[in-house]
Structure 1
């Protein structure tokens, strides 16, 4: 039987910029190491970020970088080769790392076992028939493909054309104890909001097209003046959202906080947590939001429907008026607010990070045995 301390795992991801997959790594790598695994992280783009610095502070692993250029450079394949031979398992996250690691293994004849985690129910490759053939080739080179929800499992089974036995369902988890032990922040000191009757709505997500912060911003038009929106995260569409806020005359009611490492405290300080995404995999933001003890409102889409439905409240995708109506109902009905918050808290208990880590360790043992 393979012992945990004989397993060497390299986690490969595009970068440690803001994002759910990236946050999952910085939260879980220290836990794997505590359990006795030898684990390091390799990024295709090594630009220093808050996530990078947070992982570094744990002093639990090495962080390798292949440079600061584009992650789509195929020459990265050759840089990967030397790392493959040093680990029993290379666990890959996101595209194009998904392709580059496979090609590095092919040209190096490495015997390293490959695992890939599929984090989303949708991407450009799944929507483009041309990539169907390519994805099938690359998926088949992995020993196991971890799917983070049942929806992801079904979609990848249909899209990849690989055998069902190659797929494994391991749902993401969050550190529930850490979230629940955090305390509220002072609204005036943290956000500069002096109105004692202020109500805070918060969304934690990167500023990318699938996250649809614009619908959330538009909903504020239909809400009272004492309601504020707090947006946590960064990304290519942040400036576009800032321009939208200006056009709508909402500058004093929308706060852009950028990447933050005190998300649990921010969630505890908010009155309602929102996620307006067009699709998700298994959203860590949704689990953290529900675990915060506040009502959680999300768009009715794959990746959120199964997690939030029956606990939080779902609204039709892109419907800012309906979102505002739900928020108003929660703010004006103490009983509804309390029932929803309690149901969300109970639902979050199903997604504990320790359960997820143990399932991955068992998978690593299985793959190398």
Structure 2
């Protein structure tokens, strides 16, 4: 069995982070797996993928928007004698759904990684998305909320969808139960419309001056967040570290992790924080709330005062210790090895 994952890019994001752990885990379980990246402009993970021994193919055009992707995908499938093609993110999904007409004797699967995106704000895209998702034999949703929203948007059959939760490499993130030592907040997340960094900055203004905040990530909304920090005179309390390969260490050093989102398919960064033993305060949105649940604290979307209140609850040493322990325990359910196994079982079932 030979698998080809196809992804739009290797920029910062949940799908890109998932494959970084998922592909090696699938290889460890005896599957021949390779990766095709349609666009390496702005990539952040390429070097890390190569370090982990993942065989990466790149397109000659290196442009996610080009129609030529259809033929490059089809050619690679034929040359590499691929059995299953597994597409991730919209451009990969579009071109793969069309490339299948040139290689019909292959199983095509895709994973849906979010409960919402910009296309769902315009009804004209509903027709396109319905065609795309119906082109795949199976659509994997990373959470029940993701599956529910996709069915609502496209109307695709419930039989076509399976739910396989994301996993995390527990060996890298697993920490010990913690006692609170300081007031260092951390948010690990790309700067994107799906995230809500501004609410975290405004919450910091209302917290005692002993509190500091570290952002890890890059993206399109970063400059707007930096302007907000300057306007609120918080520059001496906020760090922007950009992309970092030291997330496990930084999470373990922090006192509280924040995951502030407008919408979320799963919440991989929240899960990583939980595994590290750092108590998590997260937005109460579908997907993310399902992961955090009682293991952390949830606040209303965009509600600065609610976020401040939840952060202050963790000033109680017993609550802090309990949430640290609960986060570690809950994270054990989401190992990357379990996720890889579920995907492989699905592949085998579709090849019968």
What is the TM-score normalised by the length of structure 1? 0.90
- Determine the structure 2 residue equivalent to 1:164: 158
Equivalent in 252, 255, 280 of residue 236 of structure 2? 252
The 8 Å contact of residues 182 and 264 in structure 1, kept in 2 or not, is answered as no
The answer to whether residue 100 in structure 2 is matched with residue 105 in structure 1 is yes
Moved more, 83-92 or 266-275: 83-92
Give the secondary structure class of the aligned counterpart of 1:132: helix
Distance 1:358 1:109 in 2: 26
| TM-aligned CA distance change 1:158 to 1:49, over 3 Å | closer
The answer to whether residue 3 in structure 2 is matched with residue 9 in structure 1 is yes
Moved more, 130-139 or 312-321: 130-139
Matches within 5 A, 1:84-163: 84-85=77-78, 86-106=81-101, 108-163=102-157
The answer to whether residue 55 in structure 2 is matched with residue 72 in structure 1 is no
Distance 1:139 1:217 in 2: 38
Give the secondary structure class of the aligned counterpart of 1:172: coil
Distance 2:77 2:130 in 1: 22
1:276-324 deviation line (CA, Å, top 9, x unaligned): 1011111111111111112110011111122212221111100112211
The 8 Å contact of residues 175 and 276 in structure 2, kept in 1 or not, is answered as no
- Determine the structure 2 residue equivalent to 1:349: 332
- Determine the structure 2 residue equivalent to 1:335: 318
- Determine the structure 2 residue equivalent to 1:208: 192
| TM-aligned CA distance change 1:284 to 1:144, over 3 Å | same
Count of residues paired in the alignment: 348
| TM-aligned CA distance change 1:182 to 1:334, over 3 Å | closer
| TM-aligned CA distance change 1:68 to 1:81, over 3 Å | closer
1:11 to partner: Cα distance: 0.7
The 8 Å contact of residues 177 and 321 in structure 2, kept in 1 or not, is answered as no
1:361 to partner: Cα distance: 0.6
The 8 Å contact of residues 175 and 277 in structure 2, kept in 1 or not, is answered as no
Matches within 5 A, 1:298-317: 298-317=282-301
1:200 to partner: Cα distance: 0.9
- Determine the structure 1 residue equivalent to 2:351: 368
The 8 Å contact of residues 9 and 91 in structure 1, kept in 2 or not, is answered as yes
RMSD, matched Cα: 1.9
Matches within 5 A, 1:270-309: 270-309=254-293
Give the secondary structure class of the aligned counterpart of 2:9: coil
Distance 2:204 2:120 in 1: 34
What is the TM-score normalised by the length of structure 2? 0.94
1:183 to partner: Cα distance: 12
Structure 1, unmatched stretches of 5+, are 1-6, 185-196
- Determine the structure 2 residue equivalent to 1:190: none
The 8 Å contact of residues 177 and 325 in structure 2, kept in 1 or not, is answered as no
- Determine the structure 1 residue equivalent to 2:12: 18
1:144-175 deviation line (CA, Å, top 9, x unaligned): 10011111122222322222221111111112
The 8 Å contact of residues 47 and 68 in structure 1, kept in 2 or not, is answered as no
Distance 2:62 2:76 in 1: 19
1:96-137 deviation line (CA, Å, top 9, x unaligned): 21111111222x243221100000111123332212222111
1:175-234 deviation line (CA, Å, top 9, x unaligned): 2232125999xxxxxxxxxxxx75210111111011111111111100111111110111
The 8 Å contact of residues 295 and 337 in structure 1, kept in 2 or not, is answered as yes
Moved more, 200-209 or 62-71: 62-71
